[in-house]
Amino acid sequence: MRYFVPDIRVGAANSLEVPKRIGFWRRTAEGPQTAGLRSNATERLGGVPFGLPNALWPKCEECGKSQSLLAQFVHHPDRLDLGRDGRSLFVFHCNHDPGMCSDWEATSGANACIVIDREILQNTATPLPSDNPPIDDEVIIAGWIEKDDGLTIEETSRFMSEESLISLDESVLTKATASTKLGGVPYWIQSPDEAPKFGWTFLGQLDSTYSFLTVPIESRNWISKDRHGFEGRTHVGRGPNFGDGGVAYLFIQRNVDPPKVCMFWQCT
């Protein structure tokens, strides 16, 4: 089964810096890195959204405060099918007081997955709301690397319920990678039965660490060398708070247009 991992770079030193120009999608993987990418490159993990109208910045339905950005992705027919070119997915969660609002639940209102069309996007970084939601460290996605986990379609389907998952051999289970990815199969920490049913399919997952596949050209105090090279990474960065080593799962429902996306997370 194909899946895609982000090739990330450190973002601008100050993620709230107002960008001077629009710069979409620089693929630096093919050449030497010359600088950390600016925060106006479109796809990212953490930081602040780029192009999201301020009025659409979601508020937590439990505490009423502005949520924090986890990821911004753009439609791609193979990697992230949102049904239309130029569509973007913004994933948020409440991070004001971790553990207090139920951001781990798909239906709590303490997280939000927003799909919007290109025509609605603006050409600027979204201003931070006045209640100052905590901002995660930002990495920019310079490109995506296609991989294959070697799972058959039948094996893939068995990752979607606890009953069928526990019958899989360890050699099959270990093919599910834990790092952030789009496509493939979920790396479950708890039961697959927490996932939404009836038309929802797995879209991707967000890890609570950032995996750098190349050496970051700029140092940050939240990035360190990974001596173990976990899943091929050279360095690991502090990512979002999903409890103890958690992973967030994205699921999509495509029988509506635009499609609905939901998020929930699990930890050890």
CB closer to Zn ion, 7 vs 103: 103
Q: Identify the CA nearest to 238 among candidates 134, 144, 143, 148.
A: 134
Comparing CB distances to Zn ion, the nearer of 83 and 129 is: 129
CA angle 205, 206, 211 (to 5 degrees): 120
CB of 99 to Zn ion, least distance (A): 11
Terminus-to-terminus CA distance in the chain, angstroms?
26
Q: Does 17 bind Zn ion (CB under 5 A)?
A: no
Q: Which is nearer to Zn ion, 101 or 252 (CB)?
A: 101
Q: In the complex, what is the shortest distance from the CB of residue 94 to Zn ion, in angstroms, rounded to a whole number?
A: 3
CB 242, min distance to Zn ion, A: 15
Shortest Cβ distance from residue 106 to Zn ion (Å)? 15
Least distance in angstroms from the C-beta of 88 to Zn ion:
23
Q: Phi and psi for 172 in degrees, rounded to 5?
A: -85, -45
Of 101 and 203, nearer to Zn ion (C-beta) is: 101
Burial 165-203 (b: 16+ CB within 10 A, else e): beebeeebbebbbbbbbbbbbbbbbeebeebbeeebebb
Total residues in contact with Zn ion, by rule CB under 5 A: 5
d(CA 6, CA 54) in angstroms, rounded, equals 26
CB of 176 to Zn ion, least distance (A): 30
Residue labelled with tokens 């708070």? 241
Q: Mapping DSSP to helix (H, G, I), strand (E, B) and coil, where does residue 118 land?
A: helix
Q: How far is the CB of 248 from Zn ion (least distance, A)?
A: 16
Between residues 109 and 186, which has the closer beta carbon with respect to Zn ion? 109
x-or-dash string of contact with Zn ion, 164-203, rule CB under 5 A? ----------------------------------------
Q: Write the Ramachandran bin of 231: left for phi over 0, alpha for psi from -120 to 50, otherwise beta.
A: left
Q: Which is nearer to Zn ion, 101 or 151 (CB)?
A: 101
For residues 51-110, which are near Zn ion according to CB under 5 A?
A: 60, 62-63, 94, 101
Overall size of the chain counted in residues: 268
The residue (of 134 and 258) whose beta carbon lies closer to Zn ion is: 134
Q: Angle at CA 227, nearest 5°, toward 223 and 228?
A: 115
CB atoms inside a 10 Å sphere around CB 103: 29
The binding site for Zn ion (CB under 5 A) comprises 60, 62-63, 94, 101
